[in-house]
A and B are shown apart, each in its own frame.
Chain A
Amino acid sequence: MEELAISLDTVWMLLAAMLVFFMQPGFALCEAGFTRSKNTANILMKNFVDFMFGSLLFWLVGFGFMFGSEGAGFIGAPNWGNLSFYKADLPVEGFLIFQTVFCATSATIVSGAMAERTKFSMYLIYSAFISLFIYPVEGHWTWGGGWLSQLGFHDFAGSAIVHSVGGVLALIGAVALGPRLGKYAPDGKSRAIPGHNLTMAALGVFILWMGWFGFNPGSQLAASGEVNRTAISHVFLTTNLAAAAGGVATMFLTWIKYGKPSLSLTLNGVLAGLVGITAGCDVVSPSGAVVIGLICGIVLVFAIEFIDRKLHIDDPVGASSVHGVCGILGTLLTGLLATDGGLFYGGGWHFFGVQALGIVVIDLWAAATGLLLFFGIKKFRGLRVGKRVEEEGLDIYEHGESCYN
């Protein structure tokens, strides 16, 4: 029976890994749809690079940085492709694949925010760096058994570890780049640069929604036995409810604010709900999940407006609001709404305090490494393509081929 249980758990983990892998095409479609047709080959290429680099580098050293040295200290020991150090019931190679798809998800969040103006060669440096270092280090503090997890920090599937880190890096990347040509009028007023295909964007978001059924329930890393089958079913439900609530909140809010329900923002609202529920999907009740979704869907709209119109940071797909702001929000809301230990359930301030500390530390890490990385590249090599390349499209100049012929 024990043998069978481990096999069942392994199959579930690998199935979930496949679903999370399928979030890559989701991101690719979503980002391609929200940007202009002259840059589509470029953004698709960036999505491929994130997964290709992530797969190789996370296997080679990232996995060791994250899970090595038995979770002691600041960073694990690099494993140089050797997986034998990791001891657990689940086969290590399957576990590596499962962790790889999470790492690549974090990496690929950034490409959308930096779309339509980044030098491809410089993007490669970023993409390698996050999978090699930024993600595995903070992952070590949390899922690797490091100091944050020992304090009781709870991020079940990665609102903070995966999404907020990607979102913070996306924001810093967009700041380092500056806005796309024509995004802001000379008087500072924000202009719309409509994406070229909202059908693609919508399909991408539906695919991401499906992928999340691997991302969150898969993070249980087990399916056998009553405890696990109940847990993954619960996580399926909370994940779905939060996504729906996020989309509904955004739809009605944009209807009230702008006079019409906005598709492009509702798509972001669904993702906001999903990102928000990721931290606490196992510890909040179904109604708690709806609350998280609603809050994330509402805050999202104001975050996008604030970043775009007040801060004048050009994030074409809204990655910093969806993954950054809602990732932070989801981590904090877990501290309030966890049925066991949450502030609203009489658990006192301790758990919420740990959540707040964790999210601050993790995002400071992302911000500090991101600032060094992006502004370093900007200073020494230049992060941005030339004016003519940007005007005529990165597809032709950076890749020599266009998506639409």
Chain B
Amino acid sequence: MKKIEAIVRKTKFEEVKEALLAADINWFEYHSVHGIGQSRQERIYRGVQYSTDVIERVALTIVCRDQFVDPTIKVILKTASTGEIGDGRIFISDVIDTWSIRTGEHGDTVLRDKK
């Protein structure tokens, strides 16, 4: 089992989500995040220029079985990219165990998909 965390542009989120669902990744969470990075938005307020360090993005967290890792990454790389600075990152880490709260089962099979 792996955990895939991806930070993507807000404007790309809908596309990424649809593509993940189409690729049978149908269990994930996401949230709005603020972060710091290379991306900059120059702004002017009452004549004073300032650069907003705060960048708004969507973070997706996907826990899946090993065989789904590569397809997931491919989907995200394909759909979340614009080629500009600020497209985001993907992080992958090992997951030790997973429990289903409803059935009390645990292990790899909890993440079993329909297929």
Q: Say if the beta carbon of B47 comes within 8 Å of chain A.
A: yes
Q: From residue 19 to 59 of chain B, which have CB atoms closer than 8 A to chain A? A: 43-50
> CB distance A308 to B48 under 8 Å?
yes
Cα distance A260–B47 when bound, in Å?
A: 10
> CB distance A258 to B50 under 8 Å?
no
Choose one: B43, B47, B50; the contact of A305 (CB below 8 Å).
B47
Name the A residues within 8 Å of B50 (CB-CB).
191-192
> CB distance A304 to B44 under 8 Å?
no
Measured CB to CB, the closest approach of chain A to B50, in angstroms, equals: 4
Measured CB to CB, the closest approach of chain B to A117, in angstroms, equals: 18
Q: Say if the beta carbon of A94 comes within 8 Å of chain B.
A: no
Measured CB to CB, the closest approach of chain B to A196, in angstroms, equals: 12
Cα distance A257–B46 when bound, in Å?
A: 12
Measured CB to CB, the closest approach of chain A to B75, in angstroms, equals: 37
Cα distance A191–B43 when bound, in Å?
A: 12
> CB distance B45 to A257 under 8 Å?
no
Interface of B is mostly: strand
Considering the complex, give the chain B residue whose CB is closest to the CB of A305: B47
> CB distance B46 to A265 under 8 Å?
yes
Considering the complex, give the chain A residue whose CB is closest to the CB of B48: A192
How many pairs, one residue from A and one from B, have CB atoms within 8 Å of each other in the complex?
39
* Residues of B in contact with A, size category: under 10
Name the B residues within 8 Å of A264 (CB-CB).
45-46
Considering the complex, give the chain B residue whose CB is closest to the CB of A301: B47
> CB distance A318 to B46 under 8 Å?
yes
> CB distance A265 to B47 under 8 Å?
yes
Cα distance A260–B44 when bound, in Å?
A: 8
Cα distance A259–B46 when bound, in Å?
A: 13
Q: Mark A180-197, 1 if CB is under 8 A from B, else 0.
A: 000000000011111100
Q: Say if the beta carbon of A262 comes within 8 Å of chain B.
A: yes
Measured CB to CB, the closest approach of chain B to A118, in angstroms, equals: 20
Cα distance A258–B48 when bound, in Å?
A: 9
Q: Say if the beta carbon of A254 comes within 8 Å of chain B.
A: yes
Choose one: A258, A268, A301; the contact of B44 (CB below 8 Å).
A258
Name the A residues within 8 Å of B49 (CB-CB).
192, 258
Cα distance A301–B46 when bound, in Å?
A: 9
Name the A residues within 8 Å of B47 (CB-CB).
254, 257-258, 262, 265, 301, 304-305, 308
Choose one: A192, A259, A268, A305; the contact of B45 (CB below 8 Å).
A192
Q: Mark A294-309, 1 if CB is under 8 A from B, else 0.
A: 0000000100110011
Name the B residues within 8 Å of A190 (CB-CB).
48
Q: From residue 252 to 276 of chain A, which have CB atoms closer than 8 A to chain B? A: 254, 257-260, 262, 264-265, 268
Measured CB to CB, the closest approach of chain B to A19, in angstroms, equals: 28
Most buried by A among B43, B44, B47, B50: B47
Considering the complex, give the chain B residue whose CB is closest to the CB of A264: B46
Name the B residues within 8 Å of A254 (CB-CB).
47
Cα distance A272–B76 when bound, in Å?
A: 51
Cα distance A262–B46 when bound, in Å?
A: 7
Cα distance A360–B9 when bound, in Å?
A: 57
Name the B residues within 8 Å of A195 (CB-CB).
45
Cα distance A195–B48 when bound, in Å?
A: 13
Name the A residues within 8 Å of B44 (CB-CB).
192, 258-260, 262
Cα distance A259–B81 when bound, in Å?
A: 29
Q: From residue 41 to 88 of chain B, which have CB atoms closer than 8 A to chain A? A: 43-50
Considering the complex, give the chain B residue whose CB is closest to the CB of A267: B46
Name the A residues within 8 Å of B48 (CB-CB).
190-192, 308-309
Cα distance A192–B50 when bound, in Å?
A: 6
Name the B residues within 8 Å of A305 (CB-CB).
47
Cα distance A350–B50 when bound, in Å?
A: 48
Cα distance A259–B43 when bound, in Å?
A: 11
Cα distance A301–B48 when bound, in Å?
A: 11
Most buried by A among B44, B45, B49: B45
Considering the complex, give the chain B residue whose CB is closest to the CB of A183: B48
Cα distance A301–B43 when bound, in Å?
A: 17
Considering the complex, give the chain A residue whose CB is closest to the CB of B47: A305
Cα distance A265–B48 when bound, in Å?
A: 11
Q: Mark A188-222, 1 if CB is under 8 A from B, else 0.
A: 00111111000000000000000000000000000
Measured CB to CB, the closest approach of chain A to B114, in angstroms, equals: 43
Q: From residue 162 to 195 of chain A, which have CB atoms closer than 8 A to chain B? A: 190-195
4 A-B pairs besides A192-B43, A262-B46 with CB distance below 8 A are: A192-B46, A254-B47, A260-B44, A318-B46
Closest 4 A/B residue pairs (Cβ)? A192-B45, A192-B48, A192-B50, A194-B45
Q: Name 12 interchain pairs, CB-CB below 8 A, sorted by A.
A: A192-B43, A192-B44, A192-B46, A192-B49, A192-B50, A193-B45, A195-B45, A258-B47, A260-B44, A262-B44, A262-B45, A264-B46
